[in-house]
Structure 1
Amino acid sequence: MSFRDLRSYLDKLEKGGQLVYIHDEILPEPEIRKYARAAVDLPGGPAVIMDNIKGYKGKRVAVNVHGSWANIALMLDMPKTVTLREQFYEFDRRWSNPEAGEVKFIQNAPCQEVVIDKDINLFNIIPLFRVNRFDGGCYFAKASVISKDPDEPDNFDKENVGMYRLQVQGPDIIGMQALPFHDISIQLRKAEERNEPLPVAIALGVDPFLSTVACTPLRYDQSEYKFASALSGVPQEVTKAVTCDLDVPANAEYVIEGEIIPRQRFAEGPFGEMPGSYSGVRRQVRIKVKAVTHRKDPIFENLYVGRPWTEHDYLIALSTCVPLYRQLKETMPEVVAVNAIYQHGLTAIVATGNRFGGYAKSVAFRLASTPHGISYCKNIILVDADVDPFNLVEVMWAISTRVRADKDVIVIPNTPGMPLDPASEPPGMGNKLIIDATTPVAPEKVMREVRMVEKIEEAVAYQKVLAELQSRAGR
């Protein structure tokens, strides 16, 4: 099953027992974030739709849409009980031919059923709420921001769809965090060199694969729309924005159109970010809103991010792991899997074979030099190819029985860091920690001969037998 929009995914979640409704009247503050936090804390937590929000008659809010491995499995059209490792390989399989994705342009798009271009007041149009208690304002935490390269506006592959945090700072004013390594920062720099505004469109409530790809570390010249199509198996439907030459998701719930004010910065924040800490106040760009379009009965989808685990962690998990895995495997075929689900890869676990002595450490160096790993992957753990990097019991076993602190623990100081990481000091600088928990091979000297107990591969089939017996026993 594939999804043309958010609603078709919600239907799939509902059929799979992964969607619940809150019909009781609730206040936007603080109840929406409490439901969002509660949903993600439940094992296999469901998506939640709230349809009776005080002050916003007829408007709905959806949270925790990607907020469990069960939800992600259903997105991938897999049974919701499959393992994370199985989801990783399915995501990688779908990634095998991303350039084959299709884009379809349509007229009279659902996202433009209602057009507001006068007296815009976002606080009246959308049921806004603070994601965390001490946020500096109401945030869009799950918005797909569309922008073009000012030098190549007709190059569709360089039209960026990225997910950036957005603070509503006034009825028609939005603050946006654009970090130097974000693609939109490249476009912003080009626009500001000319002292020109950069047109942007903010899409809220899009299909689940586009949300996933919007926060995926792709190359600058790779189209997020094409990637989302390749992953989902159906064309991405887009339409032209009403105020500028941008291609926006045709089936989005809301599209906010505007432009970034050039050469000016304004206070933005604080915001409860993905490391589980408030990021403080920084000088960021500001967007002047020119129009808002939406469906007749829109759903405002937002994301809870804060102290892990949150929906943010689930959303970015596989889309962080697979690009890193593929970049490593291009030149290091011994790599069999990458687990970079922890805070967008701040900690990454790589399962690899050892071609020769010290090889695993070279895998870590390569990971630390990938476009994403440069700033994010600060704690890198290497395990043998027969260790499941998604199973922390196996990872801890490898660390406990293979690591020799004097030989296998390396700290590389003064390397690029992630500014939102509270351990980054100063913000944007840090260190790389490498823990090599692989089995030494020649010519590295092994102090003693020890044979590890092998896996019993056939036990997987027997697990299914036992699980069926267990389910019968509970009836």
Structure 2
Amino acid sequence: MRDFIGTVREAGLLIDIEEEVSTVFEAPKMAYGTDKPLFFHKLDGGHRGVMNLTANRETLALALGMNSKTMVPELAGCRYDGAIVEEGTLQTVAPDLGSVPVMTHFPLDAGAYLTAGIVFSSFGGVENAAIHRMLVAGTDRLVARIVEGRHTYQLMKAAHAKGERLPIGIAIGVHPAVTFASCTRVPQGKELAYASELMGGEIRVKTLSNGVRVPDAEFVLEGYLTDQTAAEGPFVDITGTYDPIRNQPVIEITGVATKSNPIYHGILPAGAEHRLLMGAPYEPRIYQSVAGVTKVKDVLLTRGGAGYLHAVVQIEKQTEGDGKNAIMAAFAAHTSLKHVVIVDSDITIHDPDDVEFAIATRVRGDTDLMVISGVRGSSLDPSRIADGLNVKIGVDATMPLGKEGEYIRAGWDA
């Protein structure tokens, strides 16, 4: 991560903040007003930290070594086949979470939360990596939101079924490619290989005493996901509304390793980085899925849709009906998707005005809307009903084939 921060600074994209800033509300509030990376030199006096590290597509593309305009097709072609180089063991010392500048983000939050900690886990020869929000509940205890059915949850339940705790390593302050890979639904156990591919084909890892492999990081917390539970929440999630209080698993921290003068990474809940990291990893999945039914050009999970619930898919229609097929393919690829708009290749999907223009001039409500009720949606959507079901709407905002001449837009470009 340090190397990448240097790259961002050299590119003139980093804002250095030299004055003292509090981890309680103040640093998060400063991150809320921008999508520029912020480097705090004096968090609570003596700590260093960074926020908004990949909060816009320019810095994300820089981290992945890609062009922001062609990033989605490039990511859709990844093979999850990078090399993982083992470099021995990582020694830890007795934990003290009070020495980590964990932030408290909003007034009604349950407390200070780790938001950029990647939970690496291993059980039965299967590895996983994923970001989970974690409430600090003591000097050596966290309470983690482990979403039911996801891979960490499955490994945790498998360990508990055998009377064991799930061994984990929490990495904070990693290269953004590792963060991106951990936010992506990849084939089982391929997060490190995917991160390696994104970083040029090689990643170096060390093994903790509990057997979990972790990459280079500013902070590494060694521990176990137990079968104990405690109250977790309220917490602001992707939509900017408060997630409810739930009983969630307790993590016991048994050791910690830090770099000299470490740099803490915090992701602002519902901020630009959170939304980009939630949505952007799904764009290549949607791209691949839609490519199976028609010629796809680009995909965007929109910022206004919380970076997660709304998509715009740009296609080049081959046959009439491709728009609706693309709608179904998009919903199949991202089950939390709530609304999707399919547009032609002349529409700029990163321009909300242009997308609205397509809806205004190319959509007939009686023929171009697809309404699907009684389907599983996002647990983060406050409009969901009690059992988690919701309604999805697809909008076919494409021109009818053979009538393109009626939709020519005035301009001077050939």
Which residue of structure 1 lines up, in the alignment, with residue 342 of structure 2? 382
Which residue of structure 2 lines up, in the alignment, with residue 116 of structure 1? 93
Secondary structure of the structure 1 residue equivalent to 2:80? helix
Aligned length: 412
What runs of 5+ residues in structure 2 fail to find an aligned partner?
A: none
Deviation for aligned residue 1:440? 2.7
Distance 1:194 1:222, change over 3 A: closer
Letter in 2 for 1:122: L
Deviation for aligned residue 1:340? 1.9
Deviation for aligned residue 1:267? 1.0
Q: Is the 8 A contact 1:48 1:65 kept in 2?
A: yes
Distance 1:48 1:200, change over 3 A: same
Q: Is the 8 A contact 1:140 1:166 kept in 2?
A: yes
Q: Deviations over 1:56-87 (max 9, x none)?
A: 53x21111111223322432446xxxxxxx51
| Counterpart check, 1:273 vs 2:237 | yes
Distance 1:300 1:147 in 2: 21
Secondary structure of the structure 2 residue equivalent to 1:436? strand
> 1:286-305 to 2 correspondence within 5 Å?
286-305=250-269
Q: Is the 8 A contact 2:73 2:298 kept in 1?
A: no
Q: Is the 8 A contact 1:378 1:433 kept in 2?
A: yes
Letter in 2 for 1:453: I
| Counterpart check, 1:93 vs 2:74 | yes
Which residue of structure 2 lines up, in the alignment, with residue 472 of structure 1? none
> 1:13-412 to 2 correspondence within 5 Å?
13-40=8-35, 45=36, 47-54=37-44, 57=46, 59-77=47-65, 87-93=68-74, 95-107=76-88, 112=91, 115-117=92-94, 120-123=95-98, 125-148=99-122, 150-151=123-124, 153=125, 158-219=126-187, 221-241=188-208, 243-249=209-215, 251-262=216-227, 264-306=228-270, 309-329=271-291, 331-341=292-302, 342-370=305-333, 373-374=334-335, 376-412=336-372
Q: Is the 8 A contact 1:257 1:291 kept in 2?
A: yes
Letter in 2 for 1:49: F
Q: Is the 8 A contact 1:98 1:226 kept in 2?
A: no
Distance 1:354 1:145 in 2: 42
Distance 2:282 2:205 in 1: 25
Secondary structure of the structure 2 residue equivalent to 1:265? strand
Q: Is the 8 A contact 1:101 1:229 kept in 2?
A: yes
Secondary structure of the structure 2 residue equivalent to 1:170? coil
Q: Is the 8 A contact 2:103 2:114 kept in 1?
A: no
Q: Is the 8 A contact 2:299 2:313 kept in 1?
A: yes
Distance 1:363 1:30 in 2: 42
Distance 1:95 1:216 in 2: 12
Deviation for aligned residue 1:428? 2.4
Letter in 2 for 1:175: V
Distance 1:9 1:106 in 2: 21
Secondary structure of the structure 2 residue equivalent to 1:162? strand
Distance 2:151 2:342 in 1: 30
Which has the larger share of strand? Answer: 2
Secondary structure of the structure 2 residue equivalent to 1:32? helix
Q: Deviations over 1:70-114 (max 9, x none)?
A: 322432446xxxxxxx515235325524233111111376xx5xx
Deviation for aligned residue 1:315? 2.9
Percent identity between the two aligned chains:
25
Distance 1:127 1:63 in 2: 12
Letter in 1 for 2:225: I
Q: RMSD in angstroms over aligned alpha carbons?
A: 2.3
Distance 1:20 1:357 in 2: 49
Distance 1:131 1:15 in 2: 29
Q: Is the 8 A contact 1:212 1:316 kept in 2?
A: no
Distance 1:353 1:34 in 2: 42
Distance 1:13 1:160 in 2: 29
Secondary structure of the structure 2 residue equivalent to 1:190? helix
Q: Is the 8 A contact 1:135 1:270 kept in 2?
A: yes
Distance 1:389 1:39, change over 3 A: closer
Distance 1:88 1:312, change over 3 A: farther
Distance 1:209 1:348, change over 3 A: same
Q: Deviations over 1:158-213 (max 9, x none)?
A: 41111111111111111111112421112122122223211111100000100111
Q: Is the 8 A contact 2:72 2:287 kept in 1?
A: no
Which residue of structure 2 lines up, in the alignment, with residue 83 of structure 1? none
Distance 1:68 1:414 in 2: 34
Further displaced range: 200-209 or 432-441: 432-441
Further displaced range: 395-404 or 226-235: 226-235
Further displaced range: 413-422 or 221-230: 221-230
Secondary structure of the structure 1 residue equivalent to 2:204? strand
Distance 1:212 1:196 in 2: 30
Q: Deviations over 1:297-352 (max 9, x none)?
A: 2111111123xx522123344322112212321x2242222112443431111122
Letter in 1 for 2:42: N
Further displaced range: 23-32 or 126-135: 23-32
Distance 2:81 2:158 in 1: 30
Secondary structure of the structure 1 residue equivalent to 2:137? strand
